[in-house]
Copies of this chain bind each other. A is one copy, B any other.
Amino acid sequence: MKFIQKLQKAQLNNNSLLCVGLDVDPARLPQHLRSMSNSVVQFNRRLIEATYDLACAYKLNLSFYEALGERGWQSLQQTLAYVPAGIITIGDGKRGDIGNSSERYAKAIFNGFGFDATTVHPYMGYDSIEPFLRYEDRGTFLLVLTSNEGSSDFQRITFGGKPFYQKVVHAAVRWNTRKNVGLVVGATHPEELQPIRKLAAEMPILIPGIGKQGGDLESAVRYGCNKKGLLAIINASRSILYASSGKDFATAARKEATRLRNKIVRYQEQFFD
């Protein structure tokens, strides 16, 4: 199945555009889990069990696992085994290298871990991204306008009145011959989402930044979705993961995920037929 079909199916099945970011900081685990040998995986397992019917995707930022060394690599693999088939898994690695090396990153992420999708830096151009695109049934999301402050350092530089990040959108549209390209646009840029969605009418847009980073959920839904009110993937990490630091962390996570999912559904109903 094409990535975009798998994504749509997951969004319809669970009636959800919510992506749960499993970016686990061992220092923030609930006290009672910390002594466990496999604490990160146990935490993730309980979070997945508590939210899998509320989410269309899980996103794992690879940095959080790499920081744990070899152990982290194992945790990643074990965590992925708990995600039910039908839910999208995103290996958020923000890779990008010369073709020879990007081939290997793609292999590690798509074959090794078996992720459904990944994120890549556009800076090195087409031949740094093409090795990912060869995996026709996987999604490759280009960083367009990221949720952090530094996004204005280069992404917003304008020439001929147009910001640099629009060049990336145009390229992504051009490179989408296999229908497996997506975009990353932070929810902290609500005004830019609409024009970007116009340029990329039928591409998935991964939208981080609605929680701790203060992004705008209403705009994320309203302008991030395609005309059917789908294909926006709205990520929340810390607000769900650390909804409670006690033994009730999974229940609290479910409550927060439900709240977000339902809020998204209300916006979908408001802005789409």
Contacts and interface: CB of A to CB of B under 8 A. Distances in A.
A148 B129 CA distance: 12
B148 A125 contact: yes
A94 B112 contact: no
A143 B167 contact: no
A2 B264 CA distance: 50
Interface of A: 23, 61, 63-64, 66-67, 69-70, 73-74, 94-105, 107-108, 112, 121-129, 143, 146-155, 157-160, 164, 167-168, 171, 213
Nearest to A150: B125
A98 B215 CA distance: 14
Contact of A146 (B107, B124, B129): B124
Contact of A123 (B112, B122, B213): B122
Nearest to A148: B98
Nearest to A126: B150
Given A70-B74, A105-B63, A150 B127 contact: yes
Nearest to A130: B150
B159 A160 contact: yes
Given A154-B167, A159-B157, A123 B125 contact: no
Given A94-B97, A98-B213, 20 more contacts: A61-B97, A63-B104, A66-B108, A66-B112, A67-B105, A94-B121, A98-B148, A122-B123, A122-B154, A123-B123, A123-B154, A124-B148, A124-B151, A124-B155, A125-B153, A126-B153, A127-B148, A154-B164, A158-B159, A164-B164
Nearest to A151: B125
B98 A147 contact: yes
A149 B125 contact: yes
A152 B164 contact: no
A167 B213 CA distance: 27
A61 B66 CA distance: 15
A101 B61 contact: yes
A151 B153 CA distance: 19
Give the 9 A-B CB pairs with smallest separation, nearest first: A125-B150, A159-B159, A125-B153, A67-B104, A63-B104, A66-B108, A127-B150, A63-B101, A121-B121
A96 B64 CA distance: 13
B128 A148 contact: yes
Residue from A73, A99, A103, A147 with most neighbouring chain B CB atoms (10 Å)? A73
Contacts of A128: 146, 148, 150
Contacts of A160: 159
B143 A123 contact: yes
Nearest to A107: B67
